[in-house]
Amino acid sequence: MAAADTSRGYKGFGSFHAEMSVEDMVASVAKHGSMPVSVHSPQSVLDAIEPFMKASCKQPGTAEFKADNFYIDKNWTFVNHGAFGGAHRLGMQVAAAWREHCETQPLQFVDRQLFAAYTYALWQAAQHVGSSPSHMVFTPNCTTGMNAVLASTDFSTKGVYMLDIGYGSVKKMTQAYAARMRSSTQEGGTCAPAVHMQHVPLPLQEGWQRRLLQEVEETLHAEHTALAVFDHITSNTALVLPVQELVQLCHRKGVPVMIDGAHAWGSTPLDLDSLGADYYVSNGHKWLCCPKGVAFLHVPDPDLRAAVQAPIISHGWDHGFHSSFIWDGCRDYAALLAVPALLQWWGQQGAAAQQHCSSLKEQAVLLLSEAWGTGCMAPLSSYGPMVLLQCPGGVLGGVPVEPQAHAAACTAALDACDTWQDAPVGPYSSEHAKMLQDHLHFQCRVEVPVKCLNGWLYLRVSFAPYNCMEDYEVLRDAINTIVQEGGVQ
Ligand SMILES: Cc1ncc(COP(=O)(O)O)c(C=O)c1O
């Protein structure tokens, strides 16, 4: 039976009956490396974890591994983990156990157990990403974390600097917050555009990272920039950006920087306190395979933490960083409470899974590029868990492209490499990309995103622990059949 806590007065904010405020709990964990209060572990949660820890490990990429660990439908060729992930069964079952536990005695759970369980999960997550637990909070997704940062940024005279290969909604968020702020503060005077969008020419050749840094060095100006935002792994182009160097460059220029690491947690080793970005966000539901609804915002500087407002204001407002984010009204916390179990699973299986994904990536890229006579949008070493592969000519009926045309365009860009410019624009549009993606989805049961970049079509192919070579063979054959039959009409 749980020990009774009958101490006087509410701790923290609102009328929650936690034994200690969230701020004090997190500070204590950060200082002592142990939980200051007991964390309730429901038997149903322990029961959900046990089979996954005992199971003799099947080889990643086998049908048994996929069925034992994931829900992905075997009747689909699913090579689009990068979009919305694909949750691990362990996380889903642990989350379900927490959800049921909550409903057995909702007051006891929310009022007296939740905050300690949250703090424990935060501590485990922080250890995994090289952070003090004091420096980060859970958010439901990256978008929430980025909104919190952008809403707290002063856009009265300065704007955001980002790359045109950055995540699209960041531009919209910035425009919205800047417009709101400027309409309430602007009295004439000049201000920088809300968004400086820096162009990155495509495709990219060996050494593009150096050219990118040079370009940012020349075009990023502290007097116009309230915040620079870079993706750790870009969404449409799947590139791993040189974030350490970008952070250092921004700081040399006195510009605060946010890294959008939506694709990083679970796919890339993270050491966030060392990285030193002013703000870093990442998602749990993509490559950590958490149930949907868990992400984090990392803010190592105490002054910036004090300034960041949670986008939803509730009881924890004005009680500190953790209090303001932990409670945005009553909601489902089950996904984040599953994080410690998932980290335990990754601790056991992660090395084999990573090894599987990286050798799959090499083999599949070779298979597809040989079969289609094409290549990647950037050198293979530029990619993390996803790769952008060029489609062969002939995938769209009525768009006559010699299979060699894009290769020739790439060669032209390669020749002009030092001038950092786009290859000649291709004949395709985003409508063509949609037609091909729809055809693959509806006619072939292949789920893969098709991207139109600079007028050329690319497939963004993901490599997850449940994928196997057969997935990429099916993709190869589907595209080959489309070409043989005269392209999608
Ligand atoms: C680079 C990047 N940033 C942000 C997001 C948004 O993530 P969420 O919808 O979980 O907020 C995504 C989603 O795919 C992404 O790829």
Confidence of residue 1 (pLDDT cuts 50, 70, 90): very low
Nearest to 257 by CA among 145, 136, 161: 161
- Per-residue pLDDT, 2: 45
User: Yes or no: is domain 136-337 CATH 3.60.21.10?
Assistant: no
**63-72, 233-242, 293-302, 394-403: least confident range:** 394-403
- Per-residue pLDDT, 54: 76
- Nearest residue (CA) to ligand 1, atom 12: 262
Q: Long-range pairs for 340-344 at CB < 8 Å and ≥24 separation?
A: 340/120, 340/121, 340/124, 341/45, 341/48, 341/49, 341/52, 341/90, 341/91, 341/94, 342/88, 342/90, 342/91, 342/94, 342/284, 342/288, 342/289, 342/290, 343/124, 343/125, 343/128, 344/49, 344/53
Which tens digits make up the pLDDT trace of 161-207?
999 999 999 999 999 999 998 887 655 567 889 999 999 999 898 99
**41-55, 136-150, 175-189, 340-354: least confident range:** 175-189
Cα 146 to middle of ligand 1, angstroms: 10
User: With a 6 A CB cut-off, is 157 part of the ligand 1 pocket?
Assistant: no
User: With a 6 A CB cut-off, is 236 part of the ligand 1 pocket?
Assistant: no
Residue 412 has pLDDT above 80, yes or no: no
User: With a 6 A CB cut-off, is 235 part of the ligand 1 pocket?
Assistant: yes
Architecture of domain 40-89+349-489: Alpha-Beta Complex (3.90)
- Per-residue pLDDT, 186: 58
Strands (E) in 342-445, as ranges, are: 386-390
Q: Which of 138, 139, 143, 229 to mutate to test the pocket of ligand 1 (most atoms within 8 A of CB)?
A: 143
Nearest to 122 by CA among 314, 348, 333, 274: 333
State CA 63 to chain mean position distance: 27
- Per-residue pLDDT, 466: 97
User: With a 6 A CB cut-off, is 282 part of the ligand 1 pocket?
Assistant: no
Nearest to 70 by CA among 43, 96, 88, 47: 88
Cα 50 to middle of ligand 1, angstroms: 32
The Cα–Cα gap between 100 and 123 comes to 23
Q: Is 487 helix (H, G, I), strand (E, B) or coil?
A: coil
Question: Full-prediction pTM beyond 0.85?
Answer: yes
8 Å CB contact between 137 and 352: no
- Nearest residue (CA) to ligand 1, atom 5: 262
Cα 10 to middle of ligand 1, angstroms: 37
The Cα–Cα gap between 212 and 204 comes to 10
Residue 280: DSSP 8-state: E
The Cα–Cα gap between 132 and 155 comes to 29
User: With a 6 A CB cut-off, is 23 part of the ligand 1 pocket?
Assistant: no
**Sequence spans of domains, the chain:** 40-89+349-489, 136-337
